[in-house]
Amino acid sequence: MPGVLLFVFPFLPVIAAYIILRHAAPTISFSEHRDALGAALSSYSGTTIAILIAALTFVIGLRGKNIRKVKNYGYMTSVIILYGLTFAELGIVFFMGLFLMATSKEPIFLLPSLTIGLSASSMMHISIILFQMLKFAKN
C-alpha cells in the first residue's frame, strides 16, 4: 500500500496546477504544435525509462544497512511497486506522445493536457525514486 500511496500523491498537485492554469491562463493551447509536443514527450519518456531501469538495477545491487532494513521489514515490495507503476506511467506517456505526433491535425479532446499532466507527475515520481535511492545508499 505505501508504494501505491507514493504513486498517487504526485497527481494531487498536478490536478491542482491544471485547474489553476485553466482559470488563470485559458488561452494556453497546444493545438498548433501537437506534433512537436508529442516528439518532446516521447523522447523524454523513452530516456527516463532507461534511467529508471538503471536506478532499479542500482537499488537491487545495494548492500547497505538501510536497504537490508527495507528488505527485512518487507518494504521492498512497495519500492518495486513504485518503480513498476512509474515504468507503466512512462510507457503511457511515450505512446500518448506518439499518438500526438500521429494525429497532429485532428483535435483530440484533452490529449495534450493529459500527456503534459502525466509527464509532470512522472517527474515527481522520478524525484521520489531518486530521493529513495539517496536514502538507501546512505550509511
- pTM more than 0.85: no
Within the chain, what is the greatest distance between any pair of CA atoms?
Answer: 55
Residues 113 and 14: beta-carbon distance below 8 Å? no
Alpha carbon separation from 22 to 2, 95, 135 (Å, rounded): 31, 25, 37
Q: What is the pLDDT of residues 91-119, one digit of tens each?
A: 999 999 998 888 766 667 778 888 888 99
For residue 1 the three cell numbers come to 500500500
* pLDDT tens, position by position, 31-82: 777 888 889 999 999 999 998 888 888 877 877 777 778 778 888 888 888 8
Q: For residues 129 and 111, what is the distance between their CA atoms, to the nearest angstrom?
A: 26
- Can you give the residue ranges of every domain in the chain? 2-6+34-137
